[in-house]
Amino acid sequence: MTEDGMRAAVVAYLVERANPTVDADGAVRRGWSSSIGPTGGPGADPATIKFVKTRAFPTCELHEVDYLNHRGWQMHVLIETRQERDGTWRVHPFGGGAGPGPHRSHPWVNLCAGFGPLSFTAGGHVAGDGAENAASVRLSFADGSEIEDTIDNGVVLFFEPRAVVAPVAVSIFGEDGGVLATYQEFTGLAP
């Protein structure tokens, strides 16, 4: 399958609406889950789905996708896709949310991340005062490793094909290479 096949798999996941879940006593709960899980997709309006940024890595692709959900809310989601041996695409959402993130008085990245035993995945919108001057973001891990991405359409995407150690120093750079902001993330995950 081609890039079109990957996009079709992501769209198919996003337009699917979540199934009601069943409580332990067998009662059906109505409404929507607050997280993205295996019970179905978020119910996106297919006409509003926009791939804001895509970045290819040797074993996967990451995508920041924005859309309107079935209630008309502006949503964003970080999605990983991997092509299976039979050519189909596996879609794995890492998370996201609705509307703009909290306001900061300096540039910052509204990161969604997944720390795993075999990899690290993260991405998000760069926002806050001065974000319009930001050009790139570097993540520096407690184990000494670093990864970097340029800001495209206000978004950064990161993938490291091995486990990394938190906390993470986030450094945001301007077009001239100067540091616009540096701060710590994931301090609660430190060993």
Domain endpoint, select from 98, 129, 148: 98
Give 32 or 55, the one with higher predicted confidence: 55
Any idea what the CATH number is for the domain that residue 166 is in? 2.60.40.10
Q: What is the extent of the structural domain holding 68?
A: 3-19+28-98
CA dihedral angle for residue 39, residue 44, residue 49, residue 54, rounded to 10 degrees: -20
Query: What pLDDT, on the 0 to 100 scale, is given for residue 85?
Result: 92
Q: What is the mean pLDDT of residues 143-163?
A: 96
Domain endpoint, select from 42, 71, 98: 98
Q: Count of alpha carbons within 13 Å of 81, Cβ hemisphere only? A: 28
Task: Give the list of residues 6+ apart from residue 76 with CB closer than 8 angstroms, or none.
Answer: 52, 64, 65, 66, 67, 96, 97, 125
DSSP E strand boundaries for the chain: 21-22, 28-29, 50-56, 61-68, 74-83, 89-98, 108-115, 120-127, 134-141, 146-150, 155-160, 168-174, 179-185
Query: What pLDDT, on the 0 to 100 scale, is given for residue 38?
Result: 46
Residues 122, 66 share a domain = no
Query: What pLDDT, on the 0 to 100 scale, is given for residue 31?
Result: 43
pLDDT surpasses 50 at 1: no
Q: Could you tell me what percent of the chain has a pLDDT over 90?
A: 69
Residues 80, 142 share a domain = no
CA pair distance 125, 109, nearest whole angstrom: 6
CA pair distance 92, 10, nearest whole angstrom: 9
Work out the mean pLDDT of the chain and round it to a whole number: 87
Q: Is 103 a domain residue?
A: no
Give 130 or 25, the one with higher predicted confidence: 130
Query: What pLDDT, on the 0 to 100 scale, is given for residue 95?
Result: 87
Please report where in the chains the tokens 């950064």 appear, as a residue: 156
pTM, to two decimals: 0.84
pLDDT surpasses 70 at 26: no
User: How many of the other CB atoms lie within 10 Å of CB of 116?
Assistant: 11
